[in-house]
Amino acid sequence: MRHDESLYHRYHIETRDAPDIEAWPPRFQVKVRRHRLAWLLLKEIFHYGPAKKEVILSRPCVYGVFSGPIGGFAPRPHLCVGCLRCTTQYPDVVQIVPNPERQKLGDSYFTAHYVNTVAYEAATGRVPVRGAGYRGRFGGQGWDGMWTDMSEIVRPTRDGIHGREYISTMVDIGVRPDHLAFGPDGQPVEPPRVFGVPLPLLFDRLPQVEANPALTRILAAAAREIDTLALLPVAALAHLAEPTPHIVPVVRATETVPRLPFAPRMVELDGWDPAAYQRLQQAFPQSIVALRLPFGDRPTLAAAFAAGVRVFHLTADYHGQLPDGRFVMDGIREAHLFFVEKGLRDAVTLLGSGGIIAAEHVPKAIILGLDAVAIDTPLLVALQARFAGEFRRPGDAYRLPKRLPEGWGVQRLKNLAASWRDQLLEVLGAMGLRDVRRLRGEMGRAMFQKDLEREAFGEIEGYLEQTATSGEPTAASREPMAVR
């Protein structure tokens, strides 16, 4: 929702429950041994007598799994949250196990664990909290091998998520020369052209979105309501009655320059072509023209920068893999350092996509060097998409619910953005940072499992170092980690 620019308003995303519209398999199977349950009831009747029927009929589950007409004889597993209260008290009667059907959601990268998390965030807008402590692994491959350091107790902890102290999640996108040079007419040769987005989370172009009017409208409306950007192919714009500046048309280098019924804040050129870049600049003089290209292509980065490009949107595949097989974390770090080493980092904006599928990946990607991320597959999962096998590239198949109500979809994406923003605020608050822009490239806030293990165990004979991305142990290497 647009606000009167002259008035102060505190950024806020309105959340509301938006439950699933398509029944997904329950997360858990509730296995009740009925003969043991009958025996337990008989024992309690004998022990307590009919006068204590409230004891006999009490259920061990506050979530209502055993509160159907015939109680535990017909449990309702879709209500089970896996707290294990019942099986702790009655291990001989009930067992709770993960549902294999639910485990099939997602794919080998966007695993059922991430699907469950994103689905919860999109349905509620809340931060997932796991009670009784985290009992999972504390390390792993890819993003799991990077930890954020919040132990700087000399800095005061901020309190952003509860709203008592404001932490800014605003990021700048645009052209920021490091100094102003003026021409003979007294005008700046390269004037700054920057606009702000109140959270470092954009909606990337989704595969096959142009064939889905409902999906297009949901992305556009959600982007408008949370005041971010939705990247859409030009062909999808026909589905919008009133495109707003929150839309970023993505134009392929081979495409003709589109005529647009609105003035976009940004236009994205998909693939480097100097002539196409010039054409877009001329056609949209008020807009920032960004370049979309895969991570890892340093020659093109240099050429495009020399030609005037200042906003780069770098992409990996949906599993976070670069064309040369490295992981997206390596690509982010490389692009960031590419401009740092040339003294140009503040002159450019780096956006990134691919493999960023959880709230914690956003601050990690910013620490590695991005200004903002453009998310892709989490948007689909938030709208209850199911992948048909591995989902790595835009051509891979997925299926959304047949009926996609616009209000529901917009709320799901708003909830997801609100939950991820709250988790970003938690990270910033714990680090004592008041502004997400201060986090960019702040590698002092990152620790890498591989480095720590090398420091601790490197001198021990037989130590095998994990590779950064594949997880396969290799002979110990003394080379510095690629993302450092």
- Binding positions for ligand SF4, rule: CB under 6 A: 30, 60-61, 63, 65, 80-86, 96
CB of 82 to ligand SF4, least distance (A): 5
DSSP 27: S
Of the pair 72, 409, the CB lying nearest ligand SF4 is at: 72
User: 3-state SS of the chain: helix, strand, coil percent to 5?
Assistant: 35, 15, 50
In DSSP terms, which residues pair with 375 in a beta bridge? 203
CB of 88 to ligand SF4, least distance (A): 8
Of the pair 90, 262, the CB lying nearest ligand SF4 is at: 90
Of the pair 73, 195, the CB lying nearest ligand SF4 is at: 73
What separation in angstroms does the CA of 142 have from each of 60, 196, 374?
40, 30, 18
Alpha helices of 145-240 — where are they, by DSSP H? 213-226
| Cα distance between residue 449 and residue 297, in whole Å | 27
CB of 422 to ligand SF4, least distance (A): 25
CB of 416 to ligand SF4, least distance (A): 24
CB of 60 to ligand SF4, least distance (A): 6
Of the pair 61, 404, the CB lying nearest ligand SF4 is at: 61
- State the CB neighbour count (10 A cutoff) for residue 477: 12
Of the pair 112, 433, the CB lying nearest ligand SF4 is at: 112
| Cα distance between residue 388 and residue 207, in whole Å | 14
Of the pair 30, 425, the CB lying nearest ligand SF4 is at: 30
CB of 448 to ligand SF4, least distance (A): 36
Tell me which residue of 400, 359, 399, 354 sits closest to 377, measured CA to CA: 354
Three-class SS state of 56: helix
What separation in angstroms does the CA of 459 have from each of 29, 209, 376, 456, 477?
46, 53, 42, 8, 12
Of the pair 116, 228, the CB lying nearest ligand SF4 is at: 116
In DSSP terms, which residues pair with 194 in a beta bridge? 174
CB of 39 to ligand SF4, least distance (A): 19
CB of 111 to ligand SF4, least distance (A): 21
Q: Which distant-in-sequence residues (6+ apart) come within 8 Å of 229 by Cβ?
A: 173, 197, 202, 203, 223, 246, 247, 248, 265, 266, 374
Of the pair 95, 300, the CB lying nearest ligand SF4 is at: 95
